């Protein structure tokens, strides 16, 4: 029997190709984290019908095809996002599927992935079925901005790179306060840039000590974070961001960067939330 006190990775399935991608990723995460796997299938009006057969098929696929036995299934009635959020309350991680990036990505993402990434108390991975398939050992990319939630995202990203056996690219996007003046004063621009590089090196040092096996590349880019991180997601295995960056409020909706990446990134996205203070 499985130990009910162990932490869980929760994954939502609906019989689609996208949910099968999420299922594979969730098994990998459960192995890495030594967690139980909880497969959730939600239907708006539950009856004893083929919906339970879909769940049984998913559980059998995990056990027989993927060789992971610490798995259970749950059929619930109601909206899928609400069912996953209920299970996320004490989960280590939630994994949901997403359709391939396209010109109408904001539509095809669907309400489930966006709602779960917005409101879950734990990290959420939106597994992308990408038209640009990532190569084996594809890097992990993480956005760094110095906020508390960014620090949690960096820790999460180092852990992902470690268990995947890949390199990590830590990216800080910045914009000069007065672009016109900076172009005229190259020395001041270089000084400011060096300050950012030094800050990045110092902020990553503790994590590099914790994960010495992870090869880290730092990248300081000038421009809009959402645009730059989306471009860096090409060929990546995972992009990790905090739910909100500097200026964000705990409990508010996702920030513009994480929302944009959910809709437009070329690879899977992990959204890490801040620790909510207990009342």
Higher per-residue confidence, 198 vs 58: 58
pLDDT over threshold 50, residue 175: yes
For residue 156, which of 78, 239, 97 has the smallest C-alpha distance?
Answer: 239
Q: Work out the average pLDDT over 242-258.
A: 58
The pLDDT value recorded for residue 249 is 37
Given the DSSP bridges, would you call strands 124-128 and 268-272 parallel, antiparallel or unpaired? antiparallel
* pLDDT tens figures, 6-25: 799 999 998 888 888 999 99
For the chain, which residues make up each domain, given as ranges?
A: 8-128, 140-272
Average pLDDT value for the chain? 82
pLDDT over threshold 50, residue 46: no
Angle (CA) 155-249-12 rounded to 5° is 60
181: pLDDT confidence band, cut at 50, 70 and 90?
low
- Asked whether this chain's domains 8-128 and 140-272 adopt the same fold, the reply is yes
Q: Report domain 140-272's class.
A: alpha beta
Do 128 and 100 touch, CB atoms closer than 8 A? yes
192: pLDDT confidence band, cut at 50, 70 and 90?
confident
Do 115 and 81 touch, CB atoms closer than 8 A? yes
> What is the pTM (predicted TM-score) of this model?
0.85
Q: What percent of the chain has pLDDT over 70?
A: 78
The pLDDT value recorded for residue 50 is 52
The pLDDT value recorded for residue 189 is 73
Lookup: tokens for 246: 């500097």
pLDDT over threshold 60, residue 216: yes
Q: Work out the average pLDDT over 225-231.
A: 91
250: pLDDT confidence band, cut at 50, 70 and 90?
very low
Q: Report domain 8-128's class.
A: alpha beta
| Residues in CB range of 137: below 8 A, 6 or more apart | 164, 165, 166, 237
Higher per-residue confidence, 94 vs 1: 94
Do 167 and 134 touch, CB atoms closer than 8 A? no
The pLDDT value recorded for residue 51 is 61
The pLDDT value recorded for residue 246 is 44
């Amino acid at each position: 029997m499985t130990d009910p006190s162990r932490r869980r990775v929760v994954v939502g399935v609906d019989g689609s190709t996208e949910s099968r991608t999420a299922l594979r990723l969730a098994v990998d995460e459960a192995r890495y984290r030594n967690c139980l796997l909880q497969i959730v299938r939600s239907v708006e009006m539950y009856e004893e019908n083929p919906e339970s057969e879909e769940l049984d098929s998913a559980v059998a696929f995990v056990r027989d095809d993927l060789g992971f036995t610490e798995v259970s299934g749950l059929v619930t009635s109601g909206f899928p996002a609400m069912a996953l959020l209920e299970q996320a309350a004490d989960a280590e991680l939630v994994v949901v599927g997403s359709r391939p990036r396209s010109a109408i990505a904001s539509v095809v993402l669907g309400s489930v992935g966006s709602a779960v990434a917005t409101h879950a108390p734990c990290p959420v991975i939106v597994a992308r079925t990408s038209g640009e398939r990532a190569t084996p050992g594809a890097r992990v990319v993480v956005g760094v901005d110095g906020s508390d939630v960014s620090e949690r995202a960096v820790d999460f990203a180092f852990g992902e790179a470690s268990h995947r056996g890949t390199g990590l690219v830590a990216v800080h996007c910045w914009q000069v306060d007065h672009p016109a003046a900076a172009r005229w004063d190259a020395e001041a621009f270089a000084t400011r840039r060096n300050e950012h590089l030094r800050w990045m090196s110092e902020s990553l040092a503790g994590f590099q000590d914790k994960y010495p096996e992870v090869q880290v590349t730092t990248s300081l880019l000038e421009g809009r974070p959402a645009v730059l991180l989306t471009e860096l997601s090409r060929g990546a295995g995972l992009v990790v961001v905090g739910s909100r960056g500097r200026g964000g409020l705990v409990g508010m909706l996702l920030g513009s960067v994480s929302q944009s990446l959910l809709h437009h990134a070329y690879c899977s996205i992990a959204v890490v939330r801040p620790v909510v203070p207990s009342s």
